């Protein structure tokens, strides 16, 4: 029920206007609170624009799963590997990387899977609920999600992850080469095995989708301030506003939802979240001659291929290289090479390239919860490559915290203080 009591009505400043910030704003407005979104560039300017578009409920397996220590060195040396490193950045990356690699074990992976599944398992339904009545619904599509392998043997190499998905309740169909060809004939005959998961979904234009949600926030009385958030101002421990490059934005509560740029702001309150940019890449084939039936994960290249409005987006790749370096050429070349191999003969008008920054914590689990003891500043960042999928649930969780509603989710895996232990 919408809160109309002026004594309990709050003004919340949300730093970051991507899917997580905008989702938080909508849920707070539905609770009757006033919101202002603060972003350096505006809605959907970062990873919320360039993501793979899949509402990947099954994307619960972290990148730093068991076996990464064994395989990562070889992957870094292979030209066709989906893992990249800018070697000049390694000295700065190393402290974070060592903590990240230390989590590549069965116990920590199981913990991450459990935490991620709680956020992701009903992602399509969460997006439907978020987008209802906003004008953004038209970009939401139900779909299968298909993992395409070169062979069954390659699938068996990932059996550990699939067993964990099964423990989370996911079920799937197995396709041999003939069944895959009958399901979707666009793929190369070299692809001999596939897994089809039902009850997924995708967004046909993530940038327009998030902008439509932001427009709804404005239509409901919310503000959007284009500025750099510099600090949070307080008076005797009480939040009074966010200091920005354009002046002070008055508020009672603050939500840090600026992705990888949230880390420096959190540090101002004594919170040190070990955070790095997992640089993500995409290419788009404009006006392609064929489209896959549904979004696919091309496992050999570890990237998603998603049919979108007038273009085919290929998004993924993991590169560690920090925030300042320009895009690398090799990830774009690999994406182009592998999609042309997977869908031979595909024609298109042009290729568009994009690179953005996904915020990765050392345990692959986002931070969601209060930052200060007064419970007036909240963290909502660190979602690595599942920000779009988990955005609506995260926003709902933050709104529940601000409303002091009891959650049906165990919130302890996401607490900010876990890195102090």
pLDDT at 168 over 60: yes
Distance between CA atoms of 358 and 313, rounded to whole angstroms?
A: 17
Homologous superfamily of 52-121+129-204+275-361 in CATH? Answer: D-Amino Acid Oxidase, subunit A, domain 2 (3.30.9.10)
pLDDT at 421 over 70: no
Sheet harboring 367-370: ordered strands across?
A: 223-226, 34-39, 11-15, 253-256, 377-381, 367-370
Mean pLDDT of 405-410: 91
Give per-residue pLDDT as tens, 108-140.
999 999 999 999 999 999 999 999 999 999 999
Percent of the chain scoring above 70 in pLDDT: 96
Backbone angles phi, psi at 216, to 5 degrees: -65, -40
Note the pLDDT of residue 413.
96
pLDDT at 1 over 60: no
pLDDT at 71 over 80: no
pLDDT at 4 over 70: no
Give per-residue pLDDT as tens, 248-277.
999 999 999 999 999 998 988 888 999 999
Note the pLDDT of residue 261.
94
pLDDT at 77 over 90: no
What stretch(es) of the chain map to CATH 3.50.50.60?
11-48+208-272+364-420
Rg (CA), the chain: 21
Give per-residue pLDDT as tens, 330-363.
999 999 999 999 999 999 999 999 999 999 999 9
pLDDT at 237 over 90: no
Report angle CA 241, 46, 113 to the nearest 5 degrees.
Answer: 95
DSSP assignment, residue 372? S
Other C-beta atoms lying within 10 Å of the C-beta of residue 147: 19
What stretch(es) of the chain map to CATH 3.30.9.10?
52-121+129-204+275-361
Average pLDDT value for the chain: 93
Contact 339, 346 (CB under 8 A): yes
Give per-residue pLDDT as tens, 361-402.
999 999 999 998 888 999 999 999 999 999 999 999 999 999
Distance between CA atoms of 328 and 338, rounded to whole angstroms?
A: 17
**Thinking of the domain 11-48+208-272+364-420, which architecture would CATH place it in?**
3-Layer(bba) Sandwich (3.50)
Strands (E), 58-214: 83-85, 140-149, 173-176, 193-203
Distance between CA atoms of 378 and 386, rounded to whole angstroms?
A: 19
Other C-beta atoms lying within 10 Å of the C-beta of residue 349: 11
Distance between CA atoms of 298 and 175, rounded to whole angstroms?
A: 14
Beta strand 223-226 pairing with 193-203:
unpaired
pLDDT at 6 over 80: no
Whole-prediction pTM = 0.94
Question: Which of the two residues, 124 and 77, has the higher pLDDT score?
Answer: 124
Report angle CA 82, 357, 362 to the nearest 5 degrees.
Answer: 75
Contact 168, 110 (CB under 8 A): no
Percent of the chain scoring above 90 in pLDDT: 82
Give per-residue pLDDT as tens, 9-67.
999 999 999 999 999 999 999 999 999 999 999 999 988 999 999 999 999 999 898 87
If pLDDT is split at 50, 70 and 90, which confidence band does 74 have? low
Distance between CA atoms of 248 and 244, rounded to whole angstroms?
A: 6
If pLDDT is split at 50, 70 and 90, which confidence band does 166 have? very high
Note the pLDDT of residue 270.
81
């Amino acid at each position: 029920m919408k809160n109309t009591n002026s004594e309990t009505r709050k003004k919340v400043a949300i730093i970051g206007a991507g899917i997580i910030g905008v989702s938080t704003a909508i849920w707070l407005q539905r609770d009757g609170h006033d919101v202002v979104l603060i972003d350096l560039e505006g809605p959907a300017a970062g990873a919320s624009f360039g993501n793979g578009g899949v509402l990947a409920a099954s994307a619960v397996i972290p990148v730093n799963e068991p076996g990464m220590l064994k395989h990562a060195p070889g992957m870094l040396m292979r030209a066709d590997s989906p893992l990249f490193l800018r070697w000049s950045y390694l000295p700065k990356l190393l402290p974070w990387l060592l903590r990240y690699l230390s989590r590549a074990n069965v116990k920590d992976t199981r913990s991450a899977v459990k935490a991620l599944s709680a956020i992701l398992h009903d992602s399509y339904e969460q997006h439907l609920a978020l987008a209802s009545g906003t004008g953004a619904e038209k970009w939401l599509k139900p779909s299968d999600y298909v993992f395409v392998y070169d062979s069954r043997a390659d699938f068996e190499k990932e059996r550990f992850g699939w067993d964990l998905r099964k423990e989370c309740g996911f079920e799937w169909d197995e396709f041999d080469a003939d069944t895959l060809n009958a399901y979707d004939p666009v793929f190369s005959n070299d692809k001999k095995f596939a897994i089809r998961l039902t009850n997924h979904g995708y967004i046909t234009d993530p940038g327009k989708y998030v902008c439509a949600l932001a427009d709804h926030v404005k239509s409901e009385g919310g503000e959007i301030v284009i500025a750099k958030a510099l600090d949070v101002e307080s008076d005797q421990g009480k939040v009074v506003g966010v200091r920005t490059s354009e002046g002070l934005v008055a508020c009672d509560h603050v939500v840090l939802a600026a992705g990888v740029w949230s880390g420096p702001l959190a540090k101002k309150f004594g919170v040190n979240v070990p955070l790095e940019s997992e640089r993500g890449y995409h290419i788009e084939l404009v006006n392609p001659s064929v489209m896959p039936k549904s979004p696919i994960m091309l496992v050999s290249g570890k990237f998603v291929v998603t049919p979108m409005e007038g273009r085919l987006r290929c998004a993924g790749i993991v590169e560690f290289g920090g925030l300042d370096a320009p895009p690398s050429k090799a990830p774009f070349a690999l994406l182009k090479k592998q999609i042309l191999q997977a869908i031979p003969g595909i024609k298109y008008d042009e290729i568009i390239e994009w690179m953005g920054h996904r915020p990765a914590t050392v345990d692959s689990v986002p931070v969601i919860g209060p930052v200060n003891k007064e419970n007036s500043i909240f963290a909502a960042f660190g979602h690595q490559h599942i920000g779009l999928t988990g955005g609506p649930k995260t926003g709902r969780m933050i709104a529940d915290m601000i409303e002091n509603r009891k959650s049906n989710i165990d919130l302890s895996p996401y607490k900010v203080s876990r890195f102090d232990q």
